[in-house]
Each structure stands twice: as C-alpha cells, then as structure tokens.
Amino acid sequence: MSSIAQNLQRVQHQITAATEKSGRAPSSVQLLAVSKTFDASAVLEAVQAGQRAFGENYLQEALEKIAALPALAPQASLEWHFIGPIQSNKTRPIAEHFDWVHSVDRLKIAQRLSEQRPAELGPLNICLQVNISEEDSKSGLAPAELPQVAAQVALLPRLRLRGLMAIPAPSADEAQQRAAFAAVRRLQEQLQADGLMLDTLSMGMSADLDAAVAEGASIVRIGSAIFGARHAA
Ligand SMILES: *Cc1c(COP(=O)(O)O)cnc(C)c1O
C-alpha cells in the first residue's frame, strides 16, 4: 500500500474515532484531501485509494491538476473544492472548474461567481469564510457582518450557500481549539435561526481535526496528514 493510501486510512480511522467519541455518525464528516503543492500523481494515488474530494488553494496549479486527472483516472468522478484566497479577477475559472468554494469572504466575490457559473453546470456550492479569531492578518468575514452577507449570498441564483468555513488561530490546546470551533457552530446556528438552510461546517485541519469533529464539523480539510509536509509554495 502506498504511503498516501496508508495515511488516508489512518485519517479515516481518526475521523471515525472522533465521531464515535461525540456520538456522531462517521458518515456525517466528509474528508476533503488538501492536495495543494502536490502534483497530479499524488492526487492519483489518493484517487486509487478511494478518495474523491480534493481541496486546492492556488488557482493555476489547481487548474492543471483538474485538467490532468480525467486522463489518469477516467473512471473516477472527482469533486474539486477551492479553499484559498480569491482575487476578484480570478473568479471566472473558479466558477467554471470547481464544485465548491469554501473561501468566499465578500459579497462581490459571490456575485461574480454567480454571474460566471456556466448554465450547464449545477449551482456552485459555497461556504462563507469567517474570521473567527478576528485576526487582522486572516481573510474572512467578521462575525458581525456575517448575517447580512449570508442573507444576500443565499439569494444569488447560480450559487447554493451551504454553510461556513473557518481557520482559527493555531493553538496546541484542545480546549482553545474547541472554543473557536464552537463559536463557528454558534454563528451557523444563528444563521439557521434566521431561516437559512445550511448543512455544512468546513473546519478542522491536520492539527485540530479531533476538536473540529467534536464541535460539529461536516467537512474536515486535511493536507499534510495525507500527503506529507509541504515545501514553501
Ligand atoms: C493548507 C490548508 C489546509 C490543510 O492544512 P494541513 O494542516 O496540511 O492539514 C486546510 N485548509 C486550508 C484553507 C488550507 O489552506
């Protein structure tokens, strides 16, 4: 078995254990394999091990892999998730080539994605990124501006608003990790109480997966625990 296949199996076991510990069904958490900086052959290894959903941060690199994979794995129907910062002049290829975007952090980006989503494709699945630790350096909507932006994004015709994404400030302390993820979950609950139909909490990476699952993550975005350490991009 390749090391990527072994790593995937280990991460799946970790997700299962974390769900069982908090009384959740293992199938309630989807594993998004974050393949940024790794090439198409690494993605192929993961595909051969059964992985179907991949997360990418850098547009050009992602487009090359999205174009290469159908020839390498003709039988596999893959799902591509854009999770990186978005420049407004780069929204068209994102709207054309991805199934999900987790990193929408302003209304203008959502409007462009909706306008540019090709009619023959289904609605683009969207998570709004929230700056939960309110760090100046991080992208994401401030919690206070979230309700208004979410209400407007939910009305855009070619998008389907699914929920929230967050990258809390790194902490080695599981209680602190859980507090940040719980805050994201409460924001989601407020939006649901306002009438939005949301089913996705995209939170948890290699270092804080357990805490995220304990607080209700439905998609965990895991890179280095599957593909190994990244070199600077
Ligand atoms: C790189 C990245 C990940 C994966 O991080 P790891 O620590 O390697 O698991 C998850 N989410 C986002 C937004 C990322 O940029």
Distance CA 172, CA 51 (A): 28
Ligand 1 near 81 CB (within 6 A): no
Task: Report the atom number in ligand 1 closest to the C-alpha of 205.
Answer: 9
- The SS3 of residue 136 is coil
Ligand 1 near 57 CB (within 6 A): yes
Q: Would the pTM count as exceeding 0.75? A: yes
Instruction: Give the model's pLDDT for residue 139.
Output: 87
Model pLDDT for residues 113-166, shown as the tens digit of each residue: 999 999 999 999 999 999 998 877 778 999 999 999 999 999 999 999 999 999
Ligand 1 near 34 CB (within 6 A): yes
187 contacts 168 by C-beta, under 8 angstroms = no
Task: Report the atom number in ligand 1 closest to the C-alpha of 230.
Answer: 8
Amino acid at 176: Q
Distance CA 57, CA 168 (A): 17
Compute, in angstroms, the gap from residue 211 CA to the centroid of ligand 1: 15
Mean pLDDT of the chain: 96
Residue in this structure with the two tokens 């600077």, named with its chain if needed:
232
Neighbour-count burial for 133-155, b at 16+ CB within 10 Å, e otherwise: beeeebebbebeebeebbeebbe
